[in-house]
Structure 1
Amino acid sequence: TFELELRFYNGDDPLDVWDRYIKWAEQAFPQGGKESNLSPLLERVVKIFHQEKRYYDDLRYLNICLKFANCCTEPADLYSYLHSQGIGVLHAQLYISWADEYEAKGNFKKADSVFQDGIHRRAKPLDKLEASHRQFQARVSRQVLQSLADEDIEEPESSEPQRSSLLDLKARGKNKARAPVSRVGDAIKRSSQSFSAPMAPPQQIPSRTRFAVFDESSRIPVPKSQPTLAAQPWAALPPSRAKENEQKAGTWNSGRPRSTHQSSGHDSTPCLPSFTPYVDELAEQQTVTPCKINPSVTSVLSARKPSKEEDPLQRLQSSTQGKEEMVMYCKNKVYAGVEEFSIEEIRAEMYMAKVRKKREEDLLASALRRHEMERQIEELEKRLKGSCTENQKQVGMERSLCFLTKLKHDKYVSFCL
């Protein structure tokens, strides 16, 4: 449903569909995993809207970027990219997540710089950012005090060998005995110095030299500058995954194994076999196939070399290098969501949309016709009721006239009698 809505959305806020899609994936697959497609979904959203400046201060897009940073191998690079592009710099959540990443790596100086930059920009909510900064300072202070206490508790263990005592003397020769004593401490130093070269005499300090006395009053105070974050130029989004088979640069000769065999001064001649191998004379004649083969083509089929794993965001970085292409199909609908749709599926969905629209129009027209028929029926009923009342009135008038004429006739008869 969301994939189709992404391809056929015509509103003014396309980020709303992606936001609802991500929330649905998190609720449907709380354990995550490959089935949820959450990591490629977040990557797709970040790549689509990273140049839409109207979403730079949108908290929904910032939360999506922060969720995507948790899926990357180097989240600090993504935070630095967001900061350099001005994405979410007015929200405190960016600086809190960035500082937590530096704190987890043990870089407390940069973490404090991130907090200072967020407070300087008056990121909202400011009270939450300041509270997180105070908690960070308290954690660092406790860690420093704990490390100092551990250093005071630890005692240096003596690594010198101990003298063995209360042991029997072993005879050496006829009348000599050897003490089981191992030289320790200064004895080792003296014995080692006796075999070494004589040391040079220490240099004497001349008596006329003057000592420089430190004076605190003459010290020039150096103004402390607040730590600031250096803006790094980013041409494109940083890669979210590091290459598996990529090795770091090093010295060329360090990785070579040393050869165990020493090269001799003369070349060894290969040993000749004691027998002559059999060679078939018919095998030397090359058979010519009837099909025509281009002599320049040496191998018709060749094995394809496995390519290196491509970074998830390398396509975006290559697209920003000025590569111009003219797409002759609806690419935005084929690759709109996480899943890939074929052109036939898109056409079928467009046809079904037309069918659904026509069906809705037919239902609406039938409802209007029904309403019109009901209105006409009500009008006819009102007319019938009105005609009935008129007929009743006419019948009553006729009856009253008949009664009057009868009454007049009776009076006339009685008068004649």
Structure 2
Amino acid sequence: MSQINKLKILNDPIYGFITIPNTLIYDLIQHSYFQRLRRISQMGLTYLVYPGAHHTRFHHALGCMHLMQKAIQTLRFKSVEISEAEENALLIAILLHDIGHGPFSHAMEHSILEEVHHEQVSLWFMEQLNTEFGGALALAIQVFKGEYHRKFMLQLISSQLDMDRMDYLKRDSFYSGVAEGNVNSERLIQMLNVQNDVLVIEEKAIYSVEKFLMARRLMYWQAYLHKTSVIAEITLTHILKRAKELTQSGTVLKCSEPLQFFMQHKISKEQFDANTLQTFSYLDDFDVMSAIKNWQFHYDFVLSSLSKMILNRDLLKIQMTEHKPSKSSLTLYKNKFILKYKTTSAETDYFVFKGKIKNQAYNQESEPIRILKKDGSIEDVVQASDQLSLKALSKPVTKYFICFPKELIEA
């Protein structure tokens, strides 16, 4: 019998000590599916902007579990009954909520798997683990899918004020150095409560909620949607797109077997079987970066040029605009590029293109953040707040951009 002490304590730079509460959770953390998260970047290629942003999904998942432990503790103190089985289900569900992320997290969301969302892959991983652990994850899966009768439990995992957002804002702010993203998760958690089976936050914490939403908005503009992050992530998706095109037309590209598999096959939700899941579990950031290091020397101009851009941080110029770029400006840059590099129109589209980004800190059409007022009534945070800025935060802001090689400005 194994003599390993499974009730470990981990040291986290954000919260200090994180306790692994039981042997089941220890064994889940030790599983190869979860250990893979050590090799999945939390913020994609944002480290090209903020050099410290090298933390991983592994850090984030453990942080979320820690916050969930605090939330359960708070709710129990306020006489919300949560059984041991429900507690375990909540901890497992939040621990594994991101286990389905592919390389570089959101940066490659639809590059490796074009038609399957990471949340669906997380669910498949959880179901596979449930089989391996003899049904021990059944309740966690029920909660994760929103099928458990206690509605507030899903809101702790997935809502506009959940443990996931509370951790990633605080953690991403810490590692990137973008101080505006720092949120007071402890205060927010201490003010949580449950009323009529839904998650609420007590009125005295309304300013903390406002700060949380403002921090989210600022983190999106300053980090997640920073123009260099945007162009780096688009370049990464273009590399995979070109690699798939070449592979499917018969060109053999040097890369790992799992990456080769996903470049050769377009997997739909219906085709995703146990073998596909296992192959996906072997895939991480290292496969992609290793392939890109090889592809920088490939004879294909598009693949080689894009790969060098990522490796040497010599990216395309991205110009942000309030309005859609004109078709004529795009055509002008395309013609210059074709003249300079003798590329086809389809090849040029990898280097000259336009797009848009959207930022909405609070969505009034989604599950609301409910404020519990002193008289016992419940109000949406936008109505409860005396800050006009919250109404503005609930409106989506769209920015447009155009991308092209820097050298075309002089050409």
TM-score by length of 1: 0.18
Larger Rg: 1
Greater strand content: 2
